[in-house]
Amino acid sequence: MPTKRQALILTEIVRIYNETGQPVGSKTLMNQLPIQISSATIRNEMAALEEDGLIMKNHTSSGRLPSTSGYRYYLDYLLQPSVVSPQVFSTISQDFDRDFHEIDDIVKQSANILSNLTNYTSISLGPETINVTLTGFRLIPLGGDLVIAILATSMGSVESRVYRIPASISSDDLEKAVRIINDHLVGLPIDQVKQQLATEMPQLLTKYLHSPDGFLDMFGDVLRHAAAEHFYIGGRSNLLNSVQPDDLNRIKSIYQLLDKESVFPSLLDLRPNNDHQQSTDKPISVKLGDEFDNALLNDYGLITARYHVADHGEGIIAILGPTSMPYSQLIGLMQLFTDELVKKIYEYYNHFHDDS
Amino acid sequence: MPTKRQALILTEIVRIYNETGQPVGSKTLMNQLPIQISSATIRNEMAALEEDGLIMKNHTSSGRLPSTSGYRYYLDYLLQPSVVSPQVFSTISQDFDRDFHEIDDIVKQSANILSNLTNYTSISLGPETINVTLTGFRLIPLGGDLVIAILATSMGSVESRVYRIPASISSDDLEKAVRIINDHLVGLPIDQVKQQLATEMPQLLTKYLHSPDGFLDMFGDVLRHAAAEHFYIGGRSNLLNSVQPDDLNRIKSIYQLLDKESVFPSLLDLRPNNDHQQSTDKPISVKLGDEFDNALLNDYGLITARYHVADHGEGIIAILGPTSMPYSQLIGLMQLFTDELVKKIYEYYNHFHDDS
DNA sequence: TTTAGCACTTAACTACTATGAGTGCTAACA
DNA sequence: TGTTAGCACTCATAGTAGTTAAGTGCTAAA
C-alpha cells in the first residue's frame, strides 16, 4: 500500500507519462509536484513504489513509468473524472441532433462521434434487445421459388433474407402460415417467440403445411439474424496513433483483428458474464493490457461504459486506445456522453410508443 | 522506343524488382538474362532506357528500378498474362461453392476470395442494376405513426427504412396507395419507376391521398437507397504489406481513405466515363501511381477487371496493391477469376427466373 | 558493337566517443 | 527518523570516422 505522498507521486507520473509519452525522472517530478521535496526524496519514494510493482524502469538509468498494476491502482483508487468543457458538450449535442431512422444509426453515429472527439477507436453496442417484441413477419414472392422473408421488431429494425421455398408448398398455404405466425406471435418478446417456435408452432402449422420444418427453419433463421447484436467500430485508423513505427506487424495483426468483426466483442469481453463483479458494479470500467485474452492488445486499454435505457436494457460504448490515455478526461467525457446517448435513444423509442 | 533487347532488359528489371523489392544491378541482370551479354553492355543499354525515362536510379551508384512510365510501357506492350495453376483454380471454385442468399453476398465473397488469394486489397462492385425491376413495395406498421417501408427488387435485394407517417393519413388510404404503387410499377425497371414517380404517380395517388408528396418522398427515398451501388473492400490490412515502416502517417491517411467508403469508388475511378477510351477497350486495365487523382495512392497500382453478366450489366472487381505487383500472374488470375464470378452470378440469377 | 578495366559514388554497417538524463548510495543535517 | 546534497555509475542517444560492397560511367582495346 503506497503512502499518501507516494500516491501523489504515482498520480503525477501517470499524468506526465500520458502527456509526454516519456519516462519521468525525479527532477521533472520535483518541478511539477505541488509539494516541496527534493529529487533525492522523490528517488527514495520511487524506489518504494517500484518495490510495490506500481512503477517500473525501461533500463537501469531511465526514468519511471507506470506499470500495469500502477495504472490499475491509479484507476481504482486515485483517478478523479475531470469536468468536460462546455464546448465539448455542445459538440456532442450538435452531432446527435439529427433525425435517426433506425436505432442502428444512433449506435453507429455514437461510435463516430466518440472517436472523433477523442481521437481513439470507439466501439458501440446498442441496447440489449430484452424488451423487443415481434412486430410483423412477411413473405414477398420474388418469382421462381424464391421469397424474401422480412421480420420487423418493435425496435424499428428490419431483417430481410432471401429463401427458396419448395415448389410443393402452395402460395395459399404459405400465406396462411404467415398469418398464423403473425396472429400468434406478434407482440411477443423475441425470447418468447423463440420458445414458442420450438414448442407450439409446429403443431399449429401442420394444419396448413404438410411438413412445417422448412418454413420454421426459415422463420427461425431470420429471427436469429434479427436478434443478433449489431455493433459498430468508429475511427479504426486512430489505432495507428499509438503504435511504435517499427512494429508494423503488430499493426497489421490488430487490423486483421478489427476486420474480423464477429470475434471482436467477445474478445473485448464487452458483455461480461455476471460473475465478473468488478465491472458490473460501476457503469464505467477500464480493462488494461494483460487483462485482455489476446496478447496483441497488451499495450492497449479499453474504457467501457454501460448505459441503461428505461425498459430497453443495457447498451455499451467503449474507447480502445493505448494504455496511457488521459483517463481522467475520458471518463468524465464518457459519463456525459452516455447521458446524451441515453437521452437520444429514449427520445427515439418514445416517438414509437407515445403518439399512437 | 526501346529496342528489342532493351525491352527484354526492362521486362527482366520489372520481374526482379517485383520479386526482391530491390533495385537491380547490371551484374544481377547479366546472370538472369536468357541472352549472353556482358554487364558493361547491359550498363550501356540501361543508360539508354534511363534516357527514355523507363527506368530510374535511387542514387548515383544504385541499381535501376522501373519508373511509372516503365511500368506503363511494360503493361501496355510487354506483359503476357501467365497461366494460373490448377490448385489456384480449384481454390477459387471451392470458395465460390456455397449457396448465396443475396447478390451482395456474392460481391462480398468475391472481394474476400481475391484478397486472400493475392494478399492484396480487393474491391468488388456488383453488376450494374440495368435490368433490375421492382418486385414489390410494402409498408409494415410499427405502432405509433411509424412504418417500415420495404422495397424488393428482382435482384433479390431488399431495402428497408423506417418512416414517420402523418396521423392525418388513414391506414386504409395508405394501403390503397401501396396497392397502386404495386399495381402500376411492379415489373418495371428501376429507371422507369423513377421516371413515373415524377410524372404519372402523383396524379394517380391524389385520388386516395390528400397530398401524396410525403408518401412519394418516402417511396423515392427507399428506391434511391435500393438502387445505390454496393461495393465491398476485402483484405484492407494487406495495404500495410507494401508500405515502408517509416511513413506511418501515410498508412494512416490511406486507412482513413478506406474508411470513407463513399468516396472510394469515385476516387479509384472504378466506373470511368465512356470518354476514357483506353480502359473501356480491354476488360482488364491497370492504373498506376500518378494516374490517380489522389497523391496518397502514388505508390499504388490498381488492376481493374470488368465483367459482363448476360442481361445484368457490368460488374467490376479490382486489386489494389503496391506499384510493383506481379502483374503477369495477377492479370492471368483475374481473367480466370472473373469467369468464375460471372458463372456464379449467372447461376444465381437463373435460379430466379427459370424454375417458376 | 562489345567488352574488360578502373576510378568514382553511395548506402549500410561497424566501432568508437561524447553527452546527458537519470539512478542508487553514502554521509551530513534538521 | 526523515530529508537532502553530493557523487560515482549506468545506459540510451547522437554524432563521427572508417570500411565494405554494390553499382555506375567512362575509356580504350578487341
pLDDT in tens, B271-330: 554 433 344 457 899 998 788 888 888 888 999 999 998 877 888 999 999 999 999 999
Q: Do B156 and A146 touch (CB under 8 A)?
A: yes
Rounded CA–C1' distance between A60 and C17, in angstroms: 21
Answer yes or no: do A301 and A201 share one domain: no
Residues of chain A with pLDDT under 50: 273-280, 353-356
Residues of chain A neighbouring B252 (CB-CB closer than 8 A): 237, 240-241
Residues of chain A neighbouring B140 (CB-CB closer than 8 A): 135-136, 138, 150, 152, 158
pLDDT of residue B127: 83
Answer yes or no: do A281 and A200 share one domain: no
**Nearest chain A residue to B234, by CA:** A259
Cβ atoms of B2 and B70 closer than 8 Å: no
Q: Write out residues 121-150 of B within 8 Å (CB-CB) of A.
A: 135-136, 138, 140-146, 148, 150
Measured distance CA(A257)–CA(A267) in Å, rounded: 10
pLDDT of residue B15: 95
B28 touches strand D (CB under 7 A): yes
Measured distance CA(A138)–CA(A249) in Å, rounded: 48
Measured distance CA(A78)–CA(A6) in Å, rounded: 11
Mean pLDDT of the B252-274 span: 66
Q: Which amino acid is at B291?
A: E
Cβ atoms of B188 and B134 closer than 8 Å: yes
What residue has cell string 436478434?
Answer: A227
pLDDT of residue B275: 39
Dump the DSSP string for A74-143.
Answer: IIIII--PPPPPHHHHHHHHHHH-S--SSHHHHHHHHHHHHHHHHSSEEEEEPPP-SS-BEEEEEEEE-S
B44 touches strand C (CB under 7 A): yes
Alpha-carbon distance A185 to nearest alpha carbon in chain B (angstroms): 15
B182 touches strand C (CB under 7 A): no
Q: Minimal CA–CA distance to B209: which of B168, B156, B262? A: B168
B319 in helix, strand or coil? Answer: strand
**Nearest chain A residue to B353, by CA:** A144
> At B123, which helix (H) or strand (E)?
strand B121-125
Percent of chain B scoring above 70 in pLDDT: 88
Residues of chain A neighbouring B138 (CB-CB closer than 8 A): 138, 140, 150
Q: Are strands A231-234 and A158-164 parallel, antiparallel or unpaired?
A: unpaired
Q: Write out residues 224-253 of A within 8 Å (CB-CB) of B.
A: 236-237, 240-241, 243, 245-246, 248, 251-252
Measured distance CA(A62)–CA(A273) in Å, rounded: 41
pLDDT of residue B265: 66
Answer yes or no: do B106 and B233 share one domain: yes
Rounded to 10 degrees, what is the CA torsion of A264, A269, A270, A275?
160
Mean pLDDT of the B206-216 span: 81
Measured distance CA(A18)–CA(B4) in Å, rounded: 62
Rounded CA–C1' distance between B1 and D27, in angstroms: 28
Measured distance CA(A195)–CA(A193) in Å, rounded: 5
Cβ atoms of B6 and B41 closer than 8 Å: no
Lowest mean pLDDT segment, chosen from B117-131, B217-231, B252-266: B252-266
**Nearest chain A residue to B137, by CA:** A140
**Nearest chain B residue to A355, by CA:** B144
Q: Minimal CA–CA distance to A305: which of A277, A261, A270? A: A270
Answer yes or no: do B64 and B203 share one domain: no
B74 in helix, strand or coil? Answer: helix
Cβ atoms of B144 and A356 closer than 8 Å: yes
Answer yes or no: do A69 and A190 share one domain: no
A44 touches strand D (CB under 7 A): yes
Mutation target to probe the A interface, by most A beta carbons within 10 A, among B100, B112, B132, B140 is B140
Overall domain count for chain A: 3
Answer yes or no: do A178 and A305 share one domain: no
Alpha-carbon distance A177 to nearest alpha carbon in chain B (angstroms): 18
Count of other CB atoms within 10 angstroms of residue B170: 11
As beta bridge partners, residue A314 has A308
Answer yes or no: do A65 and A94 share one domain: no
Q: Minimal CA–CA distance to B306: which of B294, B319, B316, B318? A: B316
pLDDT of residue B299: 85
Dig out the grid coordinates for A97 from the structure: 441532433
Answer yes or no: do A214 and A236 share one domain: no
Count of other CB atoms within 10 angstroms of residue B240: 20
Mean pLDDT of the B219-244 span: 82
Q: What are phi and psi of B341, to 5 degrees?
A: -65, -45
Q: Which amino acid is at B225?
A: H
Q: Do B138 and A140 touch (CB under 8 A)?
A: yes
Answer yes or no: do A263 and A346 share one domain: yes
Q: Which amino acid is at A210?
A: H
Measured distance CA(A315)–CA(B200) in Å, rounded: 46
A66 touches strand C (CB under 7 A): no
Last residue of a domain, one of A56, A78, A100: A78
Last residue of a domain, one of B227, B259, B283: B227
We report the CATH number of the domain holding residue B190 as: 3.30.390.60
Q: Would an 8 Å CB–CB cutoff place A83 in contact with chain B?
A: no
Alpha-carbon distance A312 to nearest alpha carbon in chain B (angstroms): 16
Cβ atoms of A45 and A31 closer than 8 Å: no
Task: List all nucleotides in chain C with at least one atom under 7 A from a protein Cβ.
Answer: 2-5, 8-11, 20-26
pLDDT per residue as tens digits for the range A176-199: 899 999 999 999 998 899 999 989
We report the CATH number of the domain holding residue B244 as: 3.30.450.40
Task: List all nucleotides in chain D with at least one atom under 7 A from a protein Cβ.
Answer: 3-6, 9-12, 22-27
Mean pLDDT of the B124-128 span: 84
Q: Minimal CA–CA distance to A233: which of A258, A269, A270, A260? A: A258
pLDDT of residue B274: 42
Cβ atoms of A337 and A109 closer than 8 Å: no
Mutation target to probe the B interface, by most B beta carbons within 10 A, among A224, A233, A251, A261 is A251
Count of other CB atoms within 10 angstroms of residue A348: 20
Q: Minimal CA–CA distance to B313: which of B232, B229, B234? A: B229
Mutation target to probe the B interface, by most B beta carbons within 10 A, among A139, A150, A161, A250 is A150
Counting every residue written for chain A, the total comes to 356
Measured distance CA(B323)–CA(B339) in Å, rounded: 25
| Cβ-proximal residues to A76 (8 Å cutoff; 6+ apart), any chain | none
Measured distance CA(B312)–CA(B156) in Å, rounded: 13
Dig out the grid coordinates for A190 from the structure: 423475441
State the nucleotide closest to B39 in CA–C1' terms. Answer: C3
Measured distance CA(A212)–CA(A216) in Å, rounded: 6
Measured distance CA(B13)–CA(B5) in Å, rounded: 12
Answer yes or no: do B254 and B345 share one domain: yes
CA angle B126, B132, B134 (to 5 degrees): 130
Answer yes or no: do B260 and B297 share one domain: yes
How far, in whole angstroms, is CA A352 from its chain's centroid? 25
Cβ atoms of A334 and A26 closer than 8 Å: no
pLDDT per residue as tens digits for the range B147-169: 878 898 877 677 877 787 877 77
Rounded CA–C1' distance between B219 and C3, in angstroms: 79
Nearest CB to A355; choose among B141, B145, B150: B145
pLDDT of residue A356: 33
**Nearest chain B residue to A132, by CA:** B142
pLDDT per residue as tens digits for the range B30-40: 999 999 999 99
Measured distance CA(B331)–CA(B337) in Å, rounded: 10
Range of the domain at A275: 86-128+229-353
Residues 310-339 of B with CB under 7 A from strand D: none
Count of other CB atoms within 10 angstroms of residue A238: 21
Cβ atoms of A328 and A80 closer than 8 Å: yes
Answer yes or no: do A98 and A245 share one domain: yes
Count of other CB atoms within 10 angstroms of residue B253: 16
Residues of chain B neighbouring A252 (CB-CB closer than 8 A): 237, 240-241
Whether pLDDT at B354 is above 70: no
Dig out the grid coordinates for B138 from the structure: 410494402
We report the CATH number of the domain holding residue B67 as: 1.10.10.10
A23 touches strand C (CB under 7 A): yes
Counting every residue written for chain B, the total comes to 356
pLDDT of residue B4: 94
Last residue of a domain, one of B185, B211, B227: B227
B40 touches strand D (CB under 7 A): yes
Rounded CA–C1' distance between A11 and D13, in angstroms: 28
As beta bridge partners, residue A262 has none
Whether pLDDT at B142 is above 70: no
Count of other CB atoms within 10 angstroms of residue A97: 8
